[in-house]
Chains A and B, each alone.
Chain A
Amino acid sequence: MFSLESITNAVQDWLNANFSPMWALIIQCAIVILLAMGLFATLGLVLVLMERKVAAHMQIRLGPNRVGPKGMFQTAADTLKLIMKEGLTPEGADKLLFNLAPFVVMIVSMLLLAPLAFSNGFQLWDLNIGVLFISAVSSVSVIGILMAGWASNNKYSLLGAMRSGAQIVSYELSAGLSIISIVVLAGSLQISDIINSQQDGWWIFKGHIPAIISFVIFIIAVTAETNRAPFDLAEAESELTAGFHTEYSGMKFALFFLAEYINIFIACAIGATLFLGGWMPLHIGHWQAFNHVMDYIPGVVWFFGKTFFLIFVIMWFRWTFPRLRIDQLLNLEWKYLLPISLFNLLLVTLIAIMGWHF
């Protein structure tokens, strides 16, 4: 199977041969930081452009098409504009928290990159509690949003932040439970183990109907967790103007904006990893020949293909559905999704114990 492991190993061997272990580690860190930043910037540009293009095609219009070939540099131009803008801090705002909040949100989404496996052997940190790490860290982002809303000294921001808090805390439960159902099936919290357990088929196919239910709940929950329409109550444009980031401008706003898209990417990447096999090509049971053909497509392509498919689905939601009301949103979680996912977890456990999955 095509693997990036050889490249990473070669780099490591070369560093260890030429530098002391201490310096090798530092240089490795620098490379990782550079790669992470590069990924961040590229993802931001690509996802924003993708959102605009997807929206445009759903809304019978063309979308950005002036800057660069087919409008490809539109987001770059927008970023430039945002960097040039003045970052205002409103009077009466809590300056420290106000300026800190976008970075908290940003750091959280950066941390979440750590356990993601982009390809075979291309993973920053394959820690043994990868899934737990993701659930734990992703819930920290709500603190950033609450900070932003509270420190802005604006009632719209405050309302938006409170909505966001209630929403993220609630939907964390469903997202967590649907992740656990895969953990139960795979028998491990380690991302690489979970991916390897899908060698003979992705969990969404192997896990019968309960896995599909988990998948659907997971997609709904992460849409809510990333504050995307139809669950974008925290920024509900027509109600709260822009919700928690009403008062932000310039690069500070851009950080929130970027963090939103990175969060979507990460949520979809996790979904792709857990349910659709991550970088694992489409394998069907013991069809050796078929599996072998599939292996010719590199893992990176599989991983990004699946992730971007899920991102497309989430964008599709956004441009199709109207927004829910706050009480309907919480009803959906506490009255429907949570009981269903609890019951579903029991089913999955039963399947796992009895070994009914493929």
Chain B
Amino acid sequence: MYSETQILKEASAGDIDGGELVINVGPQHPATHGVLHLVITLQGETIKKIEPHLGYIHRSIEKMCESLSYRQFIYVTSRMDYLSAHINNHACALCVEKGLQVEVPPRAKVIRVLMDELTRIASHELWLGAMAMDLGAFTPFFYAFREREAINEIMEETCGARLTMNYMVPGGVMFDLHPNFQKKVKAFITQFKKKVVEFDDLVTNNIIFQNRMKGIGVLSKEDAISYGCTGPVARASGVHCDIRKIYPYEIYDQLEFDEITESAGDSFARYMVRVREMHQSAKIIEQLIDNIPEGDYQAKTKAVLKLPKGEFYSRVETARGELGVYIVSEGGTTPYRIKFRSPGFSNLSALDHIARGGKIGDLMATMGTLDLVIPDIDR
């Protein structure tokens, strides 16, 4: 990260040498969706170099977790990737369960998967609106938020919160489902299927939109693997990396859904992967919503959890990619070292590579389709 004086120096207009212009995009900028700071070297409108400076929302969650017990630290992780808070909690719960050798009751498993997929739809909806806004179309944002609102309401009823739910605990979920849950989810899915075509009319088939997205920010398959890209970003480049398929957790191996991949690797492919993923998530929810098994929603666990000495790694597919949780335990009640392998951090590292040579307008299309959530990157 640059020191303050350096930023000021770069921001002043006095250093236009050799036609190169250094501008600071962020930390406060409409397109970065948070406090991301990019120092961009421009030649006219063409991007020569992008240097991300992180840390504006760094809270050192990893260090914080070292002094929190295994029940407590899960709540902190909701604040990493706040758009898929459920899935973050899920990854941590899985890791602790792996250490404790706890079997999660079938009802809890189904509830977890349902919540994950609802979160995924909500996250992709928000991304869709925000990305369209990056490209200058304001209206899709409101249409996307209408659908997201329905999910938030469902979450609020069952979990008591709309954004940072903290619903998954080691051994299952915290509460049972709200009696309205099934009815509301079914209503949402019907509504969602009817309304999602609006985006095709408004955004996907728009010629300006396609021209802005196609062939922009191309990430080859090799680069995607080398940069450690995961999630929709890598799948748009043809990498099979859906954790739900390759390392199935919970009951994903019994469900019928497709791993969406595209081959182009450009912004439009990333866009299409996410849009089609929403349909797959809806398909998963439809399969499960009528088949929630009866029984316990939480396994019996001890009041104070102690993980045996050793190392535990679990991973899940969040809306942005592969989230890994690496716990080193010394046998105590708190983790000795915890590491979150966040998908956004790796995806961001590819930004410089794929946005170079593009126009400044392309950067917004590229950055938008990388779907960066800054607290997820900074942790």
A→B interface (CB under 8 Å): 55, 58-61, 92, 153-156, 158-159, 163, 229-230, 232-233, 236-241, 319-328
Contact assessment for A320 and B139 in the assembled complex, using a CB-CB cutoff below 8 Å: yes
Cα A156 to Cα B24 with chains together (Å): 9
Q: Are B136 and A320 in contact (CB under 8 A)?
A: no
B374 near A: Cβ within 8 Å?
no
Interface contact A155-B136, CB-CB below 8 Å: no
Q: Is the CB of A159 within 8 A of B45?
A: yes
Would A155 and B23 count as touching, CB distance under 8 A?
yes
Please judge, given known A-B contacts A60-B146, A153-B13, A325-B361, whether A230 and B208 are in contact too, CB under 8 Å: yes
Query: Could you say which residues of chain A place their CB within 8 Å of the CB of B206?
Result: 321-322
Stretch binding the partner chain, chosen from B91-99, B127-135, B343-351:
B127-135
CB of B225 within 8 A of chain A? no
B136 touches A323 (CB 8 A): yes
Whether B31 and A239, one on each chain, are in contact in the complex, defined by CB atoms closer than 8 angstroms, is: yes
* B368 to A, closest residue via Cβ: A238
Given A230-B208, A239-B361, A327-B359, also A92-B12 (CB < 8 A): yes
Dominant secondary structure at the A interface: loop
- From known contacts A153-B13, A236-B136, A238-B135, infer whether A321 and B45 are also in contact, taking CB-CB under 8 Å: no
Point out which of B134, B136, B143, B359 has the most chain A C-beta atoms below 10 A from its C-beta.
B136
Task: Encode contact with A along B118-151: 1 for CB under 8 Å, 0 otherwise.
Answer: 0000000000000011111111011100100000
Partner of B137, one of A154, A322, A325, A326: A322
Q: Report which of B23, B137, B142, B212 forms a contact with A156, defined as CB distance below 8 A.
A: B23
B33 to chain A, nearest CB (A): 10
Contact residues in A for B364 (Cβ distance below 8 Å) = 238-239
Contacts of B360 in A (CB 8 A): 159, 239-240
Q: Are B139 and A326 in contact (CB under 8 A)?
A: no
B143:A60 contact, CB within 8 angstroms: yes
A61 B142 Cβ-Cβ under 8 A = yes
Contacts of B209 in A (CB 8 A): 322
Interface centre among B135, B202, B203, by most chain A C-beta atoms within 10 angstroms, is: B135
CB distance from B238 to the nearest CB of A (A): 26
Q: How far is the CA of A326 from the CA of B364 in the complex (A)?
A: 13
Q: How far is the CA of A238 from the CA of B28 in the complex (A)?
A: 11
Task: Pick the residue among B13, B30, B208 that contacts A158 (CB under 8 A).
Answer: B13
Contact with A along B202-230 (1 / 0, CB 8 A): 11001011011000000000000000000
